[in-house]
Amino acid sequence: MSENTALAYGGDLRALDAFLERRELSRELGALGKIELRAWMAELSQGRTARTLSRKLGSARALFRYLNRTGVLSENPAQSMKMPRLGRHLPLVVNPEVAARLVESPTETSNEAEALRDRAILELLYGSGLRVSELVGLDFEQLRIDVAQATVLGKGKKERIVPLGGPSIGALELYLARRDELAGSRGIDVRAVFVSCRGARLGVRRVQEMVQRYGALSAGRADLHPHALRHSCATHMLEGGADLRVIQDLLGHESVATTQRYTHVSLQHLSEVYDRAHPLGRLKAR
């Protein structure tokens, strides 16, 4: 699993251990059964989404699968427990006009080198549909501006090649010409493409804050996040006629079922266009 998945599973299992200790229940794995797990789920259900509960129960299942496989335990008390029902969650998508305003908004900042960096970041998030972790992990050796592509490391340490559009290449060239100015007299990370004003590799949290800030300034959307640009990239490509399999390869989805959720967004958009444009749709709107 990825490092983030391992950290999440570890946190969930530590939370389960703390729950058992707090309730003065046995912390021996052999004594843990459905009753204790259901009590844990009941406590967690206060203020948490079904998706979060499903992930936490999945962490317990993974632990017991491992213990079964290694012969430590013969039963998996979590296996027969039903996972929480997940409702259909449509991803946050902005329209092309909002995406364009967002991408162009860094020109309004006072620090020119920083603005060029931010513009290049936004172009890659929206233009190539990169995950924020893939973007901040991008090294120079993975970037091939001459052939308009980059090799990124996705989930599960899987590599894939993503195309770079003309606007992304232009923004990258402008940024890279001024990149060293960000660090000033400080040392700079020679491998990382995107660096902070201290010269270190830019972090995920910093990019999240940046997208949120520019979203609020340019579009009045303080709820924007890097993944919304990835969702918007996929949705706009689908609406533009791109094949679902092509989008799957671009985004690095393991299963096309993950990519298919964008069809629901596009159908929703299609319904809205119909209601605005078709005479029968206008009658329905009344």
Q: How confident is the model at residue 252 (pLDDT cuts 50, 70, 90)?
A: confident
273 pLDDT more than 80? no
The active-site residue out of 56, 117, 119, 131 is: 131
The arrangement of strands across the sheet holding 143-144 comes to 143-144, 149-153, 159-163
Mark whether 144 is an active-site residue.
Answer: no
Average pLDDT for residues 127-153, to the nearest whole number? 94
Length of the chain: 286
Mark whether 157 is an active-site residue.
Answer: no
The active-site residue out of 225, 230, 231, 236 is: 230
Q: Are strands 149-153 and 143-144 parallel, antiparallel or unpaired?
A: antiparallel
Give the pLDDT confidence score for residue 257 in this predicted structure.
Answer: 76
The residue among 237, 284, 226 whose CA lies nearest residue 259 is 237
Burial (0-12, 13-18, 19+ Cβ within 10 Å), 266: middle
Indicate the average pLDDT of the chain: 85
Mark whether 214 is an active-site residue.
Answer: no
Mark whether 269 is an active-site residue.
Answer: no
Mark whether 236 is an active-site residue.
Answer: no
The residue among 284, 242, 283 whose CA lies nearest residue 262 is 242
The active-site residue out of 27, 155, 160, 264 is: 155
Mark whether 82 is an active-site residue.
Answer: no
Q: How confident is the model at residue 89 (pLDDT cuts 50, 70, 90)?
A: low
Q: How confident is the model at residue 282 (pLDDT cuts 50, 70, 90)?
A: low
Instruction: Please give the share of the chain, as a percent, with pLDDT higher than 70.
Output: 89
Segment 163-215, tens digit of pLDDT: 999 999 999 999 999 999 988 767 899 999 999 988 999 999 999 999 999 99
Segment 13-52, tens digit of pLDDT: 999 999 999 988 888 887 888 888 888 888 888 878 888 8
286 pLDDT more than 60? no
The active-site residue out of 56, 221, 236, 253 is: 253
Cα 236 vs. chain centroid, distance in angstroms?
17
The active-site residue out of 48, 61, 101, 227 is: 227
> What does pTM read for this prediction?
0.70
Average pLDDT for residues 90-101, to the nearest whole number? 86
